Chains A and B, each alone.
Chain A
Amino acid sequence: MEAVFLAFVLMLSIFLGFELISKVPATLHTPLMSGANAISGITLVGALTSAGAGIEAMATILGAAAVAFATVNVVGGYLVTNRMLSMFRKKEGPPPSTGRPGASA
């Protein structure tokens, strides 16, 4: 029964994902990809459980390695996405664009 329930969640999430992503414009495809990549670092949650359970040395080692890799994904993914997105500016946007010569509207 557990498996059927999880499969149900899977099915709904996939449809939701399709609906959400198909509306993202081409301009934002790279940040979308790195942002999605950061989300796939959710596997960190599973890694934490394995690394911290303290049952077997091997499980702890595998879990700890998974924690390290998944953290790279989460931290790196969100930071790089934020860095990219903050570069996207509208034309008459806020002033941080430092004196662009000849940029008359």
Chain B
Amino acid sequence: MSAELINVCYIAAAALFVLGLKQLGSPATAVRGNLLSATGMLIAIVVTLFSKGILEFQWILVAAAVGALIGAVAAQKVAMTAMPEMVALFNGSGGVASLLVGWAALYNDGNTTFTYITILLSVLIGGVTFSGSIIAWGKLSEVMTSRAVVFGAQRAVNALILIALIACGVMFCLEPALDSPYLYAMLALSLLFGVMAVMPIGGADMPVVISLLNSYSGLAACAAGFAIGNNILIVAGSLVGAAGIILTNIMCKAMNRSLANVLFSGFGAVKTASKVEGEVKPISAEDAFLILEAASSVAFVPGYGMAVAQAQHVVRELGELLEGNGAEVSYAIHPVAGRMPGHMNVLLAEANVPYDQLIEMDDINPRIGNIDVAVVIGANDVVNPAAREDEHSPIYGMPIINVDQARTVFVLKRSMASGFAGVDNPLFFGDNTRMLFGDAKASISAVVGEFKG
């Protein structure tokens, strides 16, 4: 195949990526959009295999078979609750692939200084994406502590790494060689930098980190595209880069924090919330059932705790019983509920909740005063009124779902420990709040049992 024909096919692939992303904009067309995008990918791969430059196929076949097997098995086996970990690992694998492509581009003929710079950039971004994603995966799967790991000289160390990276990059470009020690130093420092960048970020900030690493994996592909002078890598990589940046921005806004604040300060390290005092009013499953039975509108507000308790299926069952009982049921979802953007939506969709019942924060808040019962399941910070009222709270200013303004609030909670950010939640002491203590799944099942019994 001639180079021109291949490039024409790349244009078709790019168009399919764009159309695919466009159709991802609505649940009704999203499946088709994903197929279009996959078709674009298939076209790009097949025409590349027919290019004159490819002489040996045995390594490609072995490597692709191994990769495809791992990818397919992982995609089929992963539980929806473990999706954030999965996406973190996929981000990392994209990052390391771009790093390797950049590195291999060193062996091409006729590289200019510009090419060397882009090669170093793909090594740097790819390396940061890879090691950062591995740390993010460790935090999400709780292989390591999910708390922010902060030490005194952190900023100084990071600044030193950054200076060393730039120095090594300059030295390499002055004297490019395949086995230059500066190249290996760049590799090691990039990986170290990724680790250092994600370590100080706590578990509750993971939606931001995953979005950002997603963006980096695209930018790494983009840099690799410059290194080998390939348009389709640049187009597809920058589409992904832009997608990740937008999600990062949405997540930051939903926490009322700047990206710099998320990246450089451990959560809750600066301010301490005023302690709220009061008495919690526990409620039994029987009483909860009586109130729910009389309710004409119910909103479920899920958080990460619902994923941990695997309670999404019983929640849907309760929702359907309530609907059968004549109540209007909705699911109010905060943008940063869970550990990645849209995490709760996927869990509820898995449990067969129709997507038109999934309501965004900005749509539920104006009418929350008319909701008879708001049921908070494993969410804490995203419904904490201190974000509105207490200027000393670390989450002050963060937009929340105002469940405290609903007529009655049920809070499902394992016990009386404070939530992830370690802030006290005045919601628990509200006059209209009732606490349903215990495992979320067991509590909801008990209420469902009352309905059926």
Return the chain B residue nearest A56 by Cβ.
B107
Give, as a whole number of angstroms, the nearest-CB distance from A61 to chain B: 8
Contacts of B70 in A (CB 8 A): 68, 72, 76
Tell me the A70-88 residues at the B interface (CB within 8 Å).
Answer: 70-88
Contact (Cβ within 8 A) A59 B104: yes
Q: Secondary structure of the A side of the interface?
A: helix
Given contacts A26-B341, A28-B27, contact A80 B232 (CB under 8 A): no
Stretch at the interface among B42-50, B151-159, B169-177: B42-50
A31–B350 CA distance with the chains assembled, in angstroms: 13
Q: Does B86 contact A (CB under 8 A)?
A: yes
Q: Does B390 contact A (CB under 8 A)?
A: no
A31–B250 CA distance with the chains assembled, in angstroms: 16
Interface size for B (C-beta < 8 A) is 118
Contact (Cβ within 8 A) B247 A33: yes
Contacts of A67 in B (CB 8 A): 59-60, 63-64, 67, 97
Given contacts A21-B243, A82-B35, contact A31 B30 (CB under 8 A): yes
Tell me the A37-71 residues at the B interface (CB within 8 Å).
Answer: 37-56, 58-60, 62-71
Given contacts A80-B78, A89-B354, contact A60 B21 (CB under 8 A): no
Residue of B53, B93, B100, B101 touching A73 (CB-CB under 8 A)? B93
Given contacts A17-B239, A90-B355, contact A24 B24 (CB under 8 A): yes
Q: Does B145 contact A (CB under 8 A)?
A: no
A64–B62 CA distance with the chains assembled, in angstroms: 8
Give, as a whole number of angstroms, the nearest-CB distance from A47 to chain B: 5
Contact (Cβ within 8 A) A49 B53: yes
Given contacts A83-B75, A85-B30, contact A66 B101 (CB under 8 A): yes
Return the chain B residue nearest A52 by Cβ.
B54
Contact (Cβ within 8 A) B217 A90: no
A76–B96 CA distance with the chains assembled, in angstroms: 15
Contact (Cβ within 8 A) A70 B97: yes
Contact (Cβ within 8 A) B25 A34: no
Contact (Cβ within 8 A) B27 A27: yes
Contact (Cβ within 8 A) B30 A77: no
Residue of B24, B107, B352 touching A89 (CB-CB under 8 A)? B352
Give, as a whole number of angstroms, the nearest-CB distance from A25 to chain B: 7
Contact (Cβ within 8 A) B87 A89: no
Chain B 8-32 against A: per-residue CB contact (8 Å), 1 yes, 0 no?
A: 0000000001101110111110110
Contact (Cβ within 8 A) A40 B236: yes
A103–B47 CA distance with the chains assembled, in angstroms: 49
A1–B234 CA distance with the chains assembled, in angstroms: 16
Contacts of A55 in B (CB 8 A): 107
Contact (Cβ within 8 A) A30 B340: yes
Contact (Cβ within 8 A) A42 B104: no
Q: Which A residues fall within an 8 A CB radius of B?
A: 2-3, 6, 9-10, 13-18, 20-56, 58-60, 62-91, 93, 97, 100-104
List 4 tightest A-B contacts by C-beta distance, closest first. A17-B242, A71-B67, A102-B324, A76-B71
Q: Which B residues fall within an 8 A CB radius of A?
A: 17-18, 20-22, 24-28, 30-31, 33-35, 37-38, 41, 44-45, 48-49, 51, 53-57, 59-60, 62-64, 66-68, 70-72, 74-76, 78, 80, 83, 86-87, 90-91, 93-94, 96-98, 100-101, 103-107, 114, 178, 210-211, 214, 217-218, 220-222, 224-247, 250, 320-321, 323-325, 333, 335, 340-343, 345-346, 349-350, 352, 354-358, 360
Report 11 cross-chain contacts, Cβ distance below 8 Å, ordered by A residue.
A26-B360, A29-B250, A37-B87, A39-B37, A59-B104, A64-B59, A66-B104, A70-B97, A73-B94, A78-B41, A101-B321
